[in-house]
Amino acid sequence: MVSLSTKLPPAPSKRPDKEPLDKIALGMKEATSLAIFNRWMAKAAPMVKGGIRAVPGEGPIGAAIALVGEQPGDQEDIVGKPFVGPAGHLLDKALAEAGIDRKRVYVTNAVKHFKFEPRGKRRIHSKPTAGEVTHYRWWLEKELDLVKPTLVVAMGATAALALAGHPVAVERNRGPMEFRDHAGYLTIHPSFLLRMPPKDRAAAFAKFVADLRQIRKRAVAADAPEAA
Ligand code: URA
């Protein structure tokens, strides 16, 4: 018979086939390279039920510019890369017009898993809550510590919330900004352009390109001040 003072063994894990989450978090926190960080992150479960995978950032370490979006969408979740769907195509077009080579930019998201509402066979994007953004916040900070970009760009309100640590009104604060340890810039999210009435799109796209030109100038000036 087991006496009341006998220590019972711990209950078996509910996820016996997975590594415990705290081990994963520790692995991510202590990662000394982006590759190690991404390997651990790939094992992390979504905060809310949803996407297939954690979508890592993409681009070179030490990139002059890091672009931060909201969360991976349907296509990004399938492919496992950021900004490869409709918003990504628009971003590519805007970057090209601003004279920025996407391959030289680091592109990532504030939230690493796709959250959606199923509608028939479609998965409809669902905006992350402030709590979800907070949950992923240190992931983004750690990632940026490893990438060490010169300039960090928040595209939209979710990225701004993650980088600033408090809500920021995008249109009112659009332009250069400091994000904690990072020189930054706040602009719109490209999907904002997809949602607006077609008649307003060209002017808003041109303004987004103008922001990207400013971002390029600032990143070049900070990287090589004598050349600016
Ligand atoms: N929207 C985002 O914020 N990120 C992506 O990767 C795709 C769409």
Residue 11 lies in a domain: no
CB 136 within 8 A of CB 166: no
Q: Is 46 a domain residue?
A: yes
Report if residue 6 sits inside a domain: no
Ligand 1 binding pocket includes 70 (Cβ within 6 Å): yes
Distance between CA 200 and CA 196 in Å, rounded? 7
Q: Considering just the CA atoms, what is the radius of gyration of the chain in Å?
A: 20
Q: How many domains does the chain have?
A: 1
Quick check: helix, strand or coil at residue 107? strand
CATH number of the domain to which 212 belongs: 3.40.470.10
Give me the domain span that covers residue 90: 21-227
- Identify whether 156 is part of a domain: yes
pTM here is 0.89
What is the tens place of the pLDDT at every residue in 125-176?
Answer: 999 999 999 999 999 999 999 999 999 999 999 999 999 999 999 999 999 9
SS3 content of the chain, % helix, strand, coil (to 5): 45, 15, 40
What pLDDT is stored for residue 19 in this prediction? Answer: 58
pLDDT over threshold 70, residue 222: yes
Q: HEC profile for 131-176? A: HHHHHHHHHHHHHHHHHCCCEEEEECHHHHHHHHCCCCCHHHHCEE
Answer yes or no: is 14 within a domain: no
Mutation test residue for ligand 1: of 53, 70, 163, the one with most atoms within 8 Å of CB: 70
Is any atom of ligand 1 closer than 6 Å to the C-beta of 85?
yes
Residues 7-35 have pLDDT tens digits of 444 444 444 445 566 899 999 999 999 99
| Inside any domain, residue 61 | yes
CB atoms within 10 A of CB 81: 17
pLDDT in tens, 65-111: 999 999 999 999 999 999 999 999 999 999 999 999 999 999 999 99
Beta bridge partners of residue 176, listed in sequence order: 185
Q: Is residue 13 part of a domain?
A: no
Asked if the structure places residue 147 within a domain, the reply is yes
Dmax (CA) for the chain in angstroms is 80
Which residues, 6+ apart, have CB-to-CB distance to 8 below 8 Å?
Answer: 2
Please report, in angstroms and rounded to a whole number, the separation of the first and last CA atoms in the chain: 80
Q: Is the CB of 59 under 6 A from ligand 1?
A: no
